[in-house]
Amino acid sequence: QTGDRETWDKKLDFMLSCIGYAVGLGNIWRFPYLCYKNGGGAFLIPYFIFLLICGIPLFFLELSFGQFGALGPAAIWKIAPIFKGVGYCMMFISFVVCIYYNVIIAYSLHFIFNSFTSVVPWSTCGNYWNSKFCRTNTRSQNMFFWCQMTILNYITLVKTLKTIKFPSIPQYRTKVLRLTDSIDNIGGIQWELMGLLVLAWIIVFVCLFKGVKWSGKVVYFTATFPYVVLFILLIRGSMEEGAINGIHYYLTPNITKLQDVKVWSDAAVQIFYSLGAAWGVLLSYSSLNKFHNNVYRDALSICVVNCCTSFLAGFVVFSVLGALAYQTGRDIADVVDQGAGLAFVAYPAAVANLPIAPLWAFLFFFMLLNLGLDSQFGMIEGVVSGLLDEFPIFKRNRVKFLAGLCFIQFLLAIPMVTESGMYWVTLIDWYASGFPLMCAAVCEITCIAWVYGVDRFLYDIKCMIGRTPFLWQWWKATWSFITPLCILLIMVAHLCFYSPVTYNKIAYPSWAEVVGWMAAMFSIMMIP
C-alpha cells in the first residue's frame, strides 16, 4: 500500500459510505415498479437468483481487488496493464452520470423548498401552472384535486379525452420542467433550476473538498436518515385506507410471469445496477481500507442491506400508492409509475392528501436528497481518486482540482436545466450507463479470473482476511464461469430488448439517438 494515500478514520466510515453509495434513488423508484410490473412476489425469485450468481460475486470481487491494490480505478491495473482502459471506462461513466444526477438532486431541492408552506402548492388548483380544467373532488371525506387535460388532437376534429391527472403533474412538468414539445426545441434556461443546480454542486464540493476524512463523517447522517424516513412513511402510509391493497398488489405473485424472458432480464439488470459495481467507486472506496480489513464480511453485509432496502422501499411506496388509488377511485395500475414519474408525480400526489402534508413532503424529498448525495459523493470520489493516482502532480492542489471538475460538470449540465432539460437527462441516462457498465464489468472479472488468475486472487484475499473465504469453490466457479457468462447474457438480452429512447411516450429524433450511442461508445472505446 502506498503511504501517501489517505485512509478511513473508522471502519464505520467505509461501511456507511458504501451503503450510502449502493442504496440510491433506484432502490426507491425503480425496484418497486419492476416488482409490480413483473409478477409481484414472483419477481423476487429471479431477483435473488441473480443476486447470488452475479451481484454478490461481482461486488465481493471489486471490493477485494480495490483493498488489495490500494489504488484508484485506473492505477490499480498494474496487475495487467493492457486492461487499464477498463479503469478509464469506469471513470468516464461515473463522470457522465454525475452530470445529470445533480440535476435530479436539484429537482429534489425544488420540492424541499416548496414544502415550507402551510399547504403544499401541488395540492391546489389556484396556481399559474394549473390548466383551466383543474377542479376538486371528494371521496371518503378526503379532498383530492384533479386536473383534466385535452390530450388528443385528431386531424381537424379536436376531441377532449378526460383523463384524470394529478396536480403534481403540471407542478412537475410545467413549473419545474416547463417542458417543450421535443428535444429539438431546446427552449430557454430555467433560472430557478439553474440556481438550485449551483446549490447542489456547492453542497457536493463542500462535502468532498477535505476528502474521505470529512465525507466519511457526512455519511453518518446522509446514509442513515433515509432509513428513519422510510420507517416513518411506512407506518404513516399503512394507516391510510386502501394501503393494504397496494401492499397486496406489490407482493401477490404471478408465477406465470416467470415464463417471460423479459422478467429475468429486468431482474438481472436491476441487481447489476443497484449494487453499483463497475463504476470505479467500490475500487476507490475499498482502496482506502486497512490491508487486513475483513472485506469478505463487509461485501456480504452491504449486499444484504442494499437488497433489504429495496424490499422495504416497495412496502413504503405501494402502501401510499394503494391509499392514493383508493382515494381517487382508480386502479393501482393507473397510479403506478417508475423513475422520476414515481418520485416527482405519483408520490407527491399521494403525500398531498395526508394530514400535515408539508411535513411528509419535506421528509420524502429530503430523503431523496440524501440518497442522491450519497451516490454522487461516491461517483465524484471515484473519478477524483482515479485521476489523482494517475497524475500525482494534482495531489498538492486537490481542492482546486475538485473545484475545476465540479465546475466543468456544472457547465455540461446547463442544457439539462433548459426547457428541454428532461429530454437530455433521459437521453444520457438511457445510453451512458447501461451497456458500457456491462462491458467494463465483464472485462474486469475476465482480467482477474483468467489473466491475473483466480487462484492467485483467492490467495490475495487469504492474505488480507487471514483465511480462505468460506465456500471458496463457489467464488472460484462464479468468478471464472458463472458471473461472466451471466453478464454476457444480460448484454445479449439488453440488445435483444433494446428500444429507442422515449420520454413520456415522445420519440426522439435520429440525431439524438446518435448522440446517445456516441456517449455510450466513447466510454467503451476507452478499453481498447
* Binding residue positions for Na(+): 20, 22-23, 27, 274, 306, 371, 374-375
520 by DSSP, 3-state: which? Answer: helix
Query: How many beta carbons lie within 10 A of that of residue 117, not counting itself?
Result: 12
d(CA 256, CA 258): 5
Which residues define the annotated binding site? 20, 22-23, 27, 274, 306, 371, 374-375
Query: What beta strand segments (E) does 113-265 contain?
Result: 135-139, 142-149, 152-154, 157-159, 163-165
The C-alpha cell 483466480 sits at 454
d(CA 380, CA 405): 9
Grid cell locating 186: 431546446
Query: How many beta carbons lie within 10 A of that of residue 293, not counting itself?
Result: 19
Give phi and psi for 329, each to the nearest 5. 70, 25
For 313-316, the CB contacts below 8 A with 24+ separation are 313/27, 313/28, 313/31, 313/32, 313/230, 314/31, 314/32, 314/35, 314/250, 315/234, 315/247, 315/250, 316/230, 316/233, 316/234, 316/237
d(CA 252, CA 2): 52
Cβ 419 vs Cβ 177: under 8 Å: yes
Q: How far, CA to CA in Å, does 484 sit from each of 77, 80, 92, 477?
A: 19, 18, 22, 10
Cβ 106 vs Cβ 369: under 8 Å: no
Continuous H helices in 447-509:
454-465, 472-477, 483-496
d(CA 243, CA 238): 5
Pairing outcome for strands 157-159 and 506-507: unpaired
Side chain identity at residue 35, one-letter code: C
Query: How many beta carbons lie within 10 A of that of residue 87, not counting itself?
Result: 26
Instruction: Of 236, 230, 223, 229, give the one whose Cα is nearest residue 313.
Output: 230
